[in-house]
Amino acid sequence: MKIARTLTELQAATRTLGETAFVPTMGALHSGHLSLLAAAKADGRPVVASIFVNPTQFGPNEDFNRYPRDEAGDLAQLEASGCDLVWLPDVTTMYPAQAATSISVAGPALRWEGAARPTHFGGVATVVAKLFGQVRPAAAYFGEKDWQQVQVISRMVADLLLPVQIVPVPIARDVDGLALSSRNRFLLPPERAGAPALFAALTKAATQIVAGQQVAAALHDARATLTTAGMVPDYVALVHAQSLEPLDALEHPARIIAAAKLGTVRLLDNVPVA
């Protein structure tokens, strides 16, 4: 596995690889990230992963400084997963001192995470566009764990005519249903024990809505379940799966998306409603 820390090293390495499959990450890798690498690998192209904790997608009062970092552990996992090249840019490479250009996002970025974290998706889109320009992959793999992010990136690629195929990868979960996340390590043991209530509540609401229950009632029950489990729900919504517009009644394609605070951790999850 090659490691590139400068653009010159990256360009030298990508030149020999031909068409690549790309997995952008912020590190602190877990099995969720590895499922993206496995999906990329299975498609047969050489795999490039990046690790960059992107400052512009964190708000002023968010956890940029405490975001977990473990480069040695990450590199060992990437090597074991068969990754061909790792791109480890520094902040000044990604954000040159005179930088005056960024990507502005609307549409699927406006609600939910976009409302709770107003600068978040602009930061994500900007860094992903830069990474695409550097790595120039044929395909890029994103986790459905961040459902809204996949829609924002897909919209950006369509709108800016970027020559890359976006491949969504299903959510990797712990055995009890909790969606894997680098931030789960900050859950205290009793919080971790209660955290699967989120997936359980969303699954139940999806089943009820498919069975014909009123959408508002099913979502209300799900929010109440989260509160009983000690969470502070931010949103639990039935949305159009691509536009992220809220739905009052079931139409397809639909998704239930949710965010809830548990202790100091903001948990995200989503399920299909089919």
Which residues are known catalytic residues?
Answer: 33
Q: How far is the CB of 154 from ligand AMP (least distance, A)?
A: 12
Query: Strands across the sheet with 85-87, in order?
Result: 2-4, 85-87, 47-51, 21-25, 139-143, 165-169
Nearer to ligand AMP, 40 or 219 (CB): 40
Does residue 143 interact with ligand AMP by CB under 6 A?
yes
Nearer to ligand AMP, 215 or 256 (CB): 256
Which of 181, 208, 225, 270 is in the footprint of ligand AMP by CB under 6 A? Answer: 181
Q: Does 172 bind ligand AMP (CB under 6 A)?
A: yes
Q: How far is the CB of 18 from ligand AMP (least distance, A)?
A: 23
Cβ-closest position to ligand AMP: 143
Nearer to ligand AMP, 229 or 268 (CB): 268
Q: Site for ligand AMP (CB under 6 A): which residue of 20, 25, 56, 151?
A: 25
* Shortest Å distance, C-beta 131 to ligand AMP: 11
Contact 78, 37 (CB under 8 A): yes
Site pattern 31..70 for ligand AMP (x: CB under 6 A): -xx-xx----------------------------------
Find all residues with CB under 8 Å of 152, minimum gap 6, and list them: 105, 107, 108, 109, 121, 124, 125
Burial class (CB in 10 A: 0-12, 13-18, 19+), 24: buried
CA distance 174 to 35: 13
Position among 86, 166, 171, 222 found at the interface with ligand AMP (CB under 6 A): 171
Residue 119: how many CB atoms within 10 A of its CB? Answer: 15
> How many residues interact with ligand AMP (rule CB under 6 A)?
17
Single out the residue of 113, 146, 191, 269 in contact with ligand AMP (rule: CB under 6 A): 146
Q: Cα-flanking dihedrals φ and ψ of residue 165, to 5°?
A: -95, 125
Q: Please give the backbone phi and psi of residue 62, each rounded to the nearest 5 degrees, phi first.
A: -95, -170
- Does residue 197 contact residue 225 with C-beta atoms inside 8 Å? yes
**E strand spans, 27-101:** 47-51, 85-87
Query: By the criterion CB under 6 A, which residues form the site for ligand AMP?
Result: 25-26, 32-33, 35-36, 142-143, 145-146, 169, 171-172, 179-182
